[in-house]
Structure 1
Amino acid sequence: MVDAARRGTGTEGVKGGVGITALLVAAARAIETDRHDSLARDDYAEHFVRAAPASAAWPVRLHEVPEGDLNPLWGRFARYFGLRTKVLDDFLLRSAHAGAHQVVLLGAGLDTRAFRLDWPPGCVVFEIDREGVLAFKHDVLDGLATTRKAARVPVPTDLRADWVGALTGAGFDASAPSVWLAEGLLFYLPAAAETYLIDTVDRLSPGGSALAFEVKLEKDLLAYRDSPIYTSTKHQIGIDLLSLFDGGPRPDSAGRLTGKGWSTSVHTPFDFTRRHGRGPLPEQNDALAGNRWVFANRPRT
């Protein structure tokens, strides 16, 4: 747990840069929770949004959004995050029920899966993120009535530092099957850092382990700089996502895992929109067109 000495850092961890995108996702999850046809529920999300000055005025209900679902940010983009949450929730729970009882959230942000998902007995959720982000999360959750549904172990460290040492020091067992999640993370990392992360997960994952992550395939992100998703995010809440994403060539991480013996599948978000009957569909000048969700499983030997 993050001890009392680490608390009280206020909102420093979510004031700007990648940290504030955690608030964007929290607001999207709050709006999704409020929908009559919600794909995923996160009753804690709105409290994070309200607790940070940077996001206190953002909507957390669809009726608070000008234009409703026609708003590119709080309509279509928020629904994307709701769909992503549903799909990744399902993957994590399937993997846990199959025996991967260690859950590692890489760049956990304001994730509350340890509280809101019905985990099988014996699951441990490790949350890796910067100290300031986890401290902010603790400050908010400590003021709410919460019930953990799995053991929860925050790991306050930067993924650019020795996060493996911090994770193992927090009790992670590299000999036991794990399910790993890099949700909305790899966009921000240089290619070498992504490859290191993938190789490290491979090294720490025995048979029966699983991994889900999100990537972008565009060779030129700036080709979509006028996409409504990017422009509305910048103009409505001041987050310039394109300035935060790493603009270099991306590695083929799915192919790399396949070469290491993992079984991988790659999907567009639109695949799941059609499956669930809710979510974004392709449109012109679409910033989501290059997004892919990758699911990988290491067979038991």
Structure 2
Amino acid sequence: MRPAAGLNAGVAEGVGRTALLVAAARAIETHRTDALARDPFAEHFVRAAPVSAGWPVRPEQVPAGEADPLWGRLGRYFGLRTRVLDEHLLDSVERDVRQVVLLGAGLDCRAFRLGWPPGCAVHEVDTAGVLAFKQAVLDGTRATPTAGRRTIAADLRLDWSEVLLNAGFDPAAPTAWLAEGLLLYLPAAAERRLMATIGRLSAAGSTLAYEIKEIAESPRVRASPVYAAARQRLGIDLLALFDSEARPDSAGELTKRGWTVAVHTPYDFTARYGRGPRPEPDDALAANRWIFATAPA
């Protein structure tokens, strides 16, 4: 059953459509025998939106398999990213963090698919349109969250702290923050505000994981098959959606504030798990960095 036409608006265009791209990649990953992460809800989102209803959601629906630049290479990237960031959050709650904030939560269902300890609250922050579509699809699956789930509609380019606090967020408690696939699309000033807000609301022991592109990509990289396939086959122009301003050194700023910061490439985790994307010439993933930080005690 598809949501009403108006509810599809949140994922029909722009950055909202990229949430469907990631959902399709997670669905394909879920049905692999060697899956790094499983999201049983992902394919429901893909099938529910008219713009993505014909996209693949299983490995056998991708004729070129691993060689496909979109559902093979980029799909492996999203599967690996999901696994790594899942483990970041679960490692945080193992250290007694009981408050999770997913900034730009998109269509991921961590509040439903991960095993959270008792008393854990998961705050999902995204646009009203994305959250409405997500909820309509989840209602159709009769999904039950495994944590206290709170959805917060906000524009992350602006000040979102007040709506988070009004939803029950406790700034005195340590928090596991996650900005997955978000900062690539934010203006530099919005990224600075977001990081300042996280710093202001983070109690000792809080953790943060986020993704950036470290450098501007060359014309040869921008012409890579990954970007071309997303544009030509899905109507998603990632390069046009990425903010073109010089990026702030958020990791450096966190370090100056006393946070412990580790910067990784995706390939660090490909080596760890034995699956995932590998470097290639004119690589659209080479500039991507996954950053993990812990607030000072």
Which of 190, 195, 200 is the aligned partner of 1:198? 195
Alignment partner of 1:185 is 2:151: no
TM-score scaled by length of structure 1: 0.95
Q: CA deviation at 1:147?
A: 2.2
1:119 to 111, 116, 127: 116
Q: Say whether the 8 Å CA contact 1:27–1:49 is kept in structure 2.
A: yes
1:212 alignment partner, one of 201, 209, 213: 209
User: How far does residue 145 in structure 1 lie from its aligned partner after superposition?
Assistant: 3.0
Distance 2:287 2:82 in 1: 18
Q: Which residue of 2 aligns with 1:282?
A: 279
Question: Which of 1, 7, 29 in structure 2 is aligned with 1:10?
Answer: 7
Question: Which whole-Å CA distance do the structure 1 matches of 2:122 and 2:258 have between them?
Answer: 25
Counterparts of 2:229 and 2:122 in 1: how far apart (Å)? 34
Question: Residue 196 and residue 222 in structure 1: after superposition, are their counterparts in 2 closer, same or farther (change >3 A)?
Answer: farther
Partner SS for 2:130: helix
Deviates further, 200-209 or 154-163: 154-163
Aligned residue type for 2:10: G
1:271 aligns with 2:255: no
Contact kept in structure 1, 2:158 and 2:190, CA below 8 Å? no
- The residue aligned with 1:296 is 293
User: How many residues are treated as equivalent by the alignment?
Assistant: 294
Structure 1 unaligned residues grouped into runs of 5+:
1-6
Q: Secondary structure at the match of 1:286?
A: coil
Question: After the TM superposition, which residues 65-84 of structure 1 pair with which residues of structure 2 at under 5 Å, given as runs?
Answer: 65-84=62-81
Give how far 1:219 is off: 2.5
CA displacement 1:221-247 (0-9 Å, x = unmatched)? 645221111011111111110000001
Q: 2:85 aligns with which of 80, 84, 88?
A: 88
Contact 1:221/1:247 (CA < 8 Å) preserved in 2?
no
Matches within 5 A, 1:222-301: 222-300=219-297
2:100 equivalent to 1:109? no
1:153 to 141, 144, 150: 150
Task: Give the Cα–Cα distance (whole angstroms) in 2 for the partners of residues 136 and 146 of structure 1.
Answer: 14
The reply on whether 1:44 has 2:36 as its aligned counterpart is no
Alignment partner of 1:169 out of 158, 162, 166 = 166
| Cα distance in 1 for residues equivalent to 2:192 and 2:235 | 30
Partner of 1:140: 137
Q: Deviations over 1:113-161 (max 9, x none)?
A: 0000001111100000111100000100001131211000000111133
Residue 3 of structure 1: aligned partner? none
What's the counterpart of residue 4 of structure 1?
none
- The one-letter code of the counterpart of 1:251 is P
RMSD (Å) for aligned C-alpha atoms: 1.2
Task: Indicate the percent of aligned positions where both proteins have the same amino acid.
Answer: 61
Relative to 1, partners in 2 of residues 1:88 and 1:105: Cα closer, same or farther, differing over 3 Å? same
For the structure 1 residues 125 and 142, does the alpha-carbon distance in structure 2 shift closer, same or farther, using more than 3 Å as the test? same
User: Structure 1 pair 222/166, CA: closer, same or farther in 2 (3 Å)?
Assistant: farther
Q: Is the 8 A contact 2:66 2:73 kept in 1?
A: yes
